[in-house]
A = this chain, B = another copy of it.
Amino acid sequence: MASMEKPLLFGYFRSSCTWRVRIALALKGIEYDHHIINLIKDGGQQLTDEYQQVNPMMQVPALRIDGVTLSQSLAIIEYLEETRPSPALLPRDPIQRARCRMISDHITSGIQPLQNLAVLKKVGDESQEWAKHFISRGFQALERLLEDTAGRYCVGDEVTMADLCLVPQVANANRFKMDMTPYPIISRINQSLLELEAFQISHPSRQPDTPAELRA
C-alpha cells in the first residue's frame, strides 16, 4: 500500500489541526517532509492560487501521500490508521471506537471551527470573547463526556485519535489565556499526553517554521 515517496505535510507550526496529524505521523513512525504554509505571512499563504490546487478550502493541513492529496485532519488520520495500522489509534471494540470518534468530532466539529483564524477575523473586535465562549461551551461538555470514557487518556488507557485532538485544543485554550481549573479531567489527560515523545516532537514549539522566540 505505502508508496516509496515520502509523504508531504502542508502545514503551519501553530495550526492545531496540523498538530493533530503531526502527532499521528509521529506515533506511527512515518517520516515526512514539511511544506510550510504560513497562515499569517503575505496575508496568508493558504489563500494563494497554488495552495488552492492543494486544498480548495484554503486550510491546513493537507497531506500528499500514496499519490493522493488529502485534507481534513480526521480523514487523514483515519487513512493512516487503515493503511498503516500499527500502532493503532482507534480502539478495537466498536463502542470504544465510537466513543473515540465522538470525542474527536466533538473537538473538531464542535469547538475548533468556531475559533479558527478565518472565523475570528470575521468576528472582528470581539473575537477573543467569542473564542473563549465557544471553547468554554465545548470544554464543559467534553469534561462530562470524559467522565464516562477516560482512563489514563481520553478513551481508556491507550492513546487514541481523541487524544490527538485534545492536546492541540488545550493549547489553543491556553493561547486565549483560558482558566482551565473547571476542567480537571481535560487538564490531567493533557498533562499525561504532553509527557509522551510523539506529542513533544510534534509540538508547535519544535517545528521547522517555529519562530526563534517561540522555540522550546
Interface string of A103-134 (1 = CB under 8 A from B): 01110111011100011001000000010010
Residue in B1, B94, B114 whose CB lies within 8 Å of A113: B114
B56 with A140: CB separation less than 8 A: yes
With A and B bound together, what is the CA distance between A75 and B144 in angstroms? 17
Pick 17 A–B contacts, CB within 8 A, sort by A.
Answer: A52-B144, A55-B141, A56-B142, A70-B98, A71-B106, A72-B101, A73-B105, A75-B102, A78-B98, A79-B97, A79-B98, A82-B94, A82-B97, A108-B109, A110-B113, A114-B114, A122-B133
Chain A residues packing against B (C-beta within 8 Å): 1, 52, 55-59, 66, 68, 70-76, 78-79, 82-83, 94-95, 97-99, 101-102, 104-106, 108-110, 112-114, 118-119, 122, 130, 133, 137-138, 140-142, 144-145
